[in-house]
């Protein structure tokens, strides 16, 4: 998959360095994937939440953090929408 929004991940890591390991692994894995549908995402990330509009919520670092992405399965692009703490996520309108 092509990844759009890497700068958002890097900015988040700068503020939350404990997230760097998971995010670095996630980026490498996503770039190697060819997801064709939401079930293929769930096959890799069982705790991922699939939302309407081809959005996916990833929980990481013991559910301390959340990342929302939008996946364009037809053209193979993952767009990073936002990252935040669990508390910030609870305030987002999705």
pLDDT tens-place string over residues 46-57: 999 999 999 999
- Strands of 24-94 (E only): list them: 49-51, 55-60, 65-72, 77-85
**H or E, element range at 86:** helix 86-91
Task: Please tell me the class of the 2-91 domain.
Answer: alpha beta
Structure confidence at residue 30 (pLDDT): 97
pLDDT of amino acid 93: 74
- Are 69 and 79 within 8 A, CB to CB? yes
Q: What's the rounded mean pLDDT across residues 79-93?
A: 93
Structural domain spans, the chain: 2-91
Please give the helix or strand (H or E) that residue 3 lies within, else none: strand 2-4
Span 63-69, mean pLDDT? 96
Q: What is the pLDDT of residues 4-51, one digit of tens each?
A: 999 999 999 999 999 999 999 999 999 999 999 999 999 999 999 999
């Amino acid at each position: 998959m092509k990844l759009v929004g890497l700068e958002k991940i890097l900015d988040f890591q700068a503020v939350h360095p404990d997230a760097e390991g998971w995010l670095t692994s996630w980026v490498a894995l996503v770039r190697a994937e060819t997801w064709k549908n939401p079930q293929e995402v769930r096959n890799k990330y069982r705790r991922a939440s699939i939302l309407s509009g081809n959005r996916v919520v990833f929980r990481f670092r013991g559910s301390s953090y959340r990342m929302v992405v939008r996946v364009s399965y037809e053209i193979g692009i993952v767009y990073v929408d936002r990252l935040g703490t669990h508390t910030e996520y609870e305030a987002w309108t999705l």
